[in-house]
Amino acid sequence: MRPPGDPKNLTVERGQRQKRNEPSGKLGFGLLGICAAVLLWRLASGMVGSSLILPPPGEVVASFLRIASGPGFWTAVLGSLRRVGIAFALSTLVGGLSGTIAALSGFFKSFIAPFLTTIRATPVLALILVAMFWLPASGVPIFSAFLMAYPLIHGSTCAGIESVDPELLQMATVFKVPARTILFRLRLPSASPYFLTGAKSALGISWKVVVAGELLSQPAFALGTGMQDARLSLDTASVLAWAAATVFLCGMSEFILGFASRRLEKGRMERPT
Amino acid sequence: MSLSKQQLLQTQDIVKSFGNRQIISGISADFPPSSVTAILGPSGCGKTSFLNILAGLIPADSGRLIGFPQLSFSYSFQDPRLLPWLSCLDNILFALSGLDDEKTSRERALRFITAAGLEAYTAFKPLQLSGGMRRRLSLARAFSYPSDVLLLDEAFASVDLKLRIDLMDLFSLLWREEKRTTIFVTHDVQDALYLADRILVFSSRPARLLDTFSIDTSRETRRYGSKDFSELEERLYRMILS
């Protein structure tokens, strides 16, 4: 055995570290974490001894299967998915546009700053409650999610455009590249990693706020409505089953967006095939 | 693109400071049209700042630029400064996008990409190219842009000797097409002797013009590192090291 401090140990340690970072290793540790959490849940449920307070995992899985095979589940999923899609698309469009303008105009950036600070500081529930006075039940989750996701996209787009490499800008200045070309071929493409990071956060927040909005405004065909109905029936297992469906859908959409953005970024830097 | 023989390009008593630190201390020099002028000096002496002043990228604190403000410039930077998401061809077309005729721009870009030996890589992105190819692309971009003056900032530095000579030969090849007025910055005496018609020697910071040398030997007959200029070489080394 080599003594501690032997430089050859570094190679061994590096090899071990590499092994730990392999995808299969990560997946293994992830599964282990899930097993540990389920085991803890099972133990805690056994100690509480009441399905109303904390049902065991098996009961929640059974509820999930019952809900998922019912007629309302998929329409609820599609309804929520549609609301998330609309809120996310709106916030991406408006946030991307206003973020771009803010990065190019100091006046607009200062003008919009108090509005953004107010939205960021407003509790989401307060926003939903106010929106309920103004909008129909189906519009409340969309409006609330848009307002919560919009500042994220705005901020990341603005930061991305502002962080463009000054040396590339200097190069464009020397070659007298028109402002329009600089915007579309230099500033916006260099902002894209920031924009995609912001979009990923915005998608996550959209799911949370849409379901919270549905929970309070009770539109037809919504995950939040299903969750609220289960709560009113004192069916905790079903509440958790609806929540699990939401978590799964949110995770899946974030994964798809992350995968697509990684492919997009990789493709951007490589030769088209 | 090619300046008239009568056009006067001159700097008079250029001074530049950054904060309390003086970088350039009263440089006056001439730059004959259609010549290749090397600015030779120790690293960090203010050569790049001087080039940036000529290009109008930074203002001088005092002094005069005669003939320069009316001109257009191409610049090959020390770092190639390529847009990683654009192909080789699009990187050059980006630099040419301010020109009126799109068709001519494309033809020009393709001509210089081919001259730089990158015709098989037009669709490749910069990250897919080697360091030397990126530098060749940067040179091709600078030559493609139909400017009055070509500025090169250590465009041949930080690469191995073979690649450096290849890049300088590429420069000579491209330069012969239009014989554009060129000012290039280097800290390498051999590079200056290989390419320049005139050599301006700058002192260490704050940069002053120590001396100007002319080389009358045709560029085509020069060999890199040859002893043909040994006397001048020795004088240049002495001057830089003094």
If one compares A228 and A1, the residue with the highest pLDDT of the two is A228
Residue A124 has pLDDT above 70, yes or no: yes
The span from the CA of A23 to the CA of B233, in Å, is 58
- What residue of A is the nearest CA neighbor of B56? A174
Q: Give pLDDT tens digits for A222-264.
A: 999 999 999 998 889 999 999 999 999 999 999 999 998 888 8
B53 or B236, greater pLDDT: B53
User: What span, in angstroms and rounded, lies between the C-alpha atoms of A57 and B38?
Assistant: 77
For residue B159, pLDDT over 90 is answered with no
* A273–chain B Cβ distance below 8 A for any pair: no
Burial of B237 per CB tally in 10 Å (0-12, 13-18, 19+): exposed
**CA–CA dist B186, B191 (Å, integer):** 7
B204-236 residue pLDDT tens = 888 888 888 888 888 777 788 777 777 788 888
| Burial zone of B223 (CB within 10 Å; 0-12 exposed, 13-18 middle, 19+ buried) | exposed
pLDDT at B185: 93
The nearest CA of chain A is from the CA of B231 a distance in Å of 38
DSSP H or E run through B183: strand B181-186
Q: What is the mean pLDDT of chain A?
A: 88
Q: Where are the alpha helices (DSSP H) in chain B?
A: 47-54, 88-95, 102-115, 131-144, 161-178, 189-195, 230-241
Most B-contacting residue of A169, A170, A173, A175 (CB-CB within 10 A), to test interface? A175
Is the pLDDT at B174 greater than 90, yes or no? no
Q: Residue A191 in contact with residue A207, Cβ under 8 Å? A: no
Q: What is the pLDDT of residue A19?
A: 53
Q: Is the pLDDT of residue A194 over 60?
A: yes
Name the residue ranges covered by the structural domains of chain B. 1-72+148-242, 82-146
Count other C-beta atoms under 10 Å from residue B62's C-beta. 12
Report d(CA B202, CA B209) in Å as an integer.
5
User: pLDDT tens digit string along A26-73?
Assistant: 778 888 998 999 999 999 998 988 888 999 989 989 998 988 888 888
* Beta carbons of A210 and A83 less than 8 angstroms apart: yes
What superfamily would CATH give domain B1-72+148-242? P-loop containing nucleotide triphosphate hydrolases (3.40.50.300)
A44 is a domain residue: no
How far from each other are the two terminal CA atoms of chain A, in whole angstroms?
Answer: 51
Structural domains in chain A (count): 1
pLDDT of residue A3: 47
Residues spanned by the domain of A89: 71-268
Angle, to 10 degrees, between the axis of helix A106-121 and the axis of helix A71-104? 140
A271 touches chain B (CB under 8 A): yes
Return d(Cα A148, Cα A251) in angstroms, integer: 18
Dig out the tokens for A36 from the structure: 């540990």
User: Where does residue B161 rank: exposed (0-12), middle (13-18), buried (19+ CB within 10 A)?
Assistant: exposed
Q: How far is CA B241 from CA A11, B24, B38, B192, B228, in A?
A: 44, 18, 17, 16, 21
CB contact under 8 A, B77 and A167: yes
Angle at B14 between CA B9 and CA B17, to 5 degrees: 145
Predicted pLDDT of residue A265: 80
Residues of A in contact with B127 (CB under 8 A): 269-270
Contact between A174 and B97 using a beta-carbon 8 Å cutoff: no
The position carrying tokens 């509005």 is A115
What gap in Å lies between CA A146 and CA A152, rounded to an integer?
10
φ, ψ for residue B76, nearest 5 deg: -110, 110
Q: Decide if A64 is inside a domain.
A: no
With contact defined as beta carbons under 8 Å apart, do B87 and B124 qualify?
A: yes
* pLDDT computed for residue A271 by the predictor: 60
Average pLDDT, chain B: 87
Q: Are residues A174 and B73, on separate chains, in Cβ contact within 8 Å?
A: yes
User: Given this model, what pLDDT does residue A42 score?
Assistant: 92
The confidence band for A191, taking pLDDT boundaries of 50, 70 and 90, is very high
Residue A90 has what pLDDT?
Answer: 97
- Taking the Cβ of residue A133 and every Cβ of chain B, the question of whether any pair is shorter than 8 Å is answered with no
Q: For residue A163, is it within any domain?
A: yes
Position B225 scores a pLDDT of: 75
The pLDDT value given to residue A17: 54
pLDDT band at A7 (very low <50, low <70, confident <90, very high): very low
pLDDT tens across B4-21, in order?
656 778 899 999 999 889
CA dihedral B200, B205, B206, B211 (to 10 degrees): -20
What is the chain B residue with the closest CA to A178?
B98
Q: What is the pLDDT of residue A115?
A: 94
Chain A nearest C-alpha distance from B13 (Å): 24
Report the share of chain B in percent with pLDDT over 70. 97
CATH of the domain at A264: 1.10.3720.10
In this predicted structure, the answer to whether residue B199 has a pLDDT above a threshold of 60 is yes
Residue A18 within a domain: no
pLDDT at A14 (0 to 100) = 52
| Structure-token match 């030996």, residue found | B117
pLDDT at site A4:
46
How many angstroms separate the CA atoms of B116 and B175, rounded? Answer: 12
Residues B174 and B28 sit within 8 Å (Cβ to Cβ): no
CA distances (Å), origin A211, targets A126, A138, A254, B206 = 15, 11, 16, 66
The pLDDT score that the predictor gives to residue B5 is 57
* Long-range Cβ pairs for the range A263-269 (8 Å, 24+): A264/A192, A264/A196, A265/A192, A265/A193, A265/A196, A268/A189, A268/A192, A268/B84, A268/B85, A268/B125, A269/B84, A269/B85, A269/B125, A269/B127, A269/B128
DSSP state of A186: I
Q: In Å, what is the CA distance from A61 to each residue of A31, A45, A193, A241, A248?
A: 17, 14, 38, 7, 13
Residue of B nearest to A171 (CA): B81
CA nearest neighbour of A245 among A124, A85, A76: A76
The more confidently predicted of residues A267 and B102 is: B102
